[in-house]
């Protein structure tokens, strides 16, 4: 198995319902089962980028480590609009060292 396949990404629920004005906290876990430090960039799709808040989207994961990142989705819609159904998709871009 190549090094790029030794990084795991886990989101507890990828199908979300968010009401206008609501904030959801979503824990995303990155794991490195490889033998090298990995520099990663988290990318979230399926929701407007203006709704996504996180301390960083760039992470370094040491061999054997698991890192949980808290992402906050804030529905920026007008409060009299309906809730939004979101199918959150995520991916990791591995950076070269």
Q: pLDDT tens digit string along 53-96?
A: 887 788 889 999 998 988 888 887 765 556 666 666 666 666 66
* Per-domain residue ranges of the chain: 3-92
Would you say residue 12 has pLDDT above 60? yes
For the segment 23-49, the average pLDDT, to the nearest whole number, is 87
Structure tokens at 69: 């990142």
Distance between CA 73 and CA 65 in Å, rounded? 26
CATH number of 3-92: 2.60.40
Residue 1: predicted pLDDT? 44
- Which residue is it, tokens 């990404």? 9
SS3 of the chain: the string is CCHHHHEEEECCCCEEEECCCCEEEEEEEEEECCCCCEEEEEEEECCCHHHEECCCCEEEECCCCEEEEEEEEECCCCCCCCCEEEECEEEEEEECC
pTM for this one?
0.73
């Amino acid at each position: 198995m190549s090094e790029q396949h030794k990084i795991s990404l886990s989101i507890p629920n990828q199908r979300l319902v968010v009401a206008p004005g609501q904030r959801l906290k979503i824990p995303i876990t990155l794991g490195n089962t490889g033998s090298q430090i990995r520099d990663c960039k988290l990318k979230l799709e399926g929701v407007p980028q203006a709704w996504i808040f996180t301390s960083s989207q760039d992470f370094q994961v040491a061999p054997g480590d698991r890192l949980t990142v808290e992402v906050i989705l804030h529905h920026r819609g007008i409060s009299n609009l309906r809730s939004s159904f979101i199918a959150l998709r995520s991916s990791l871009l591995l950076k070269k060292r």
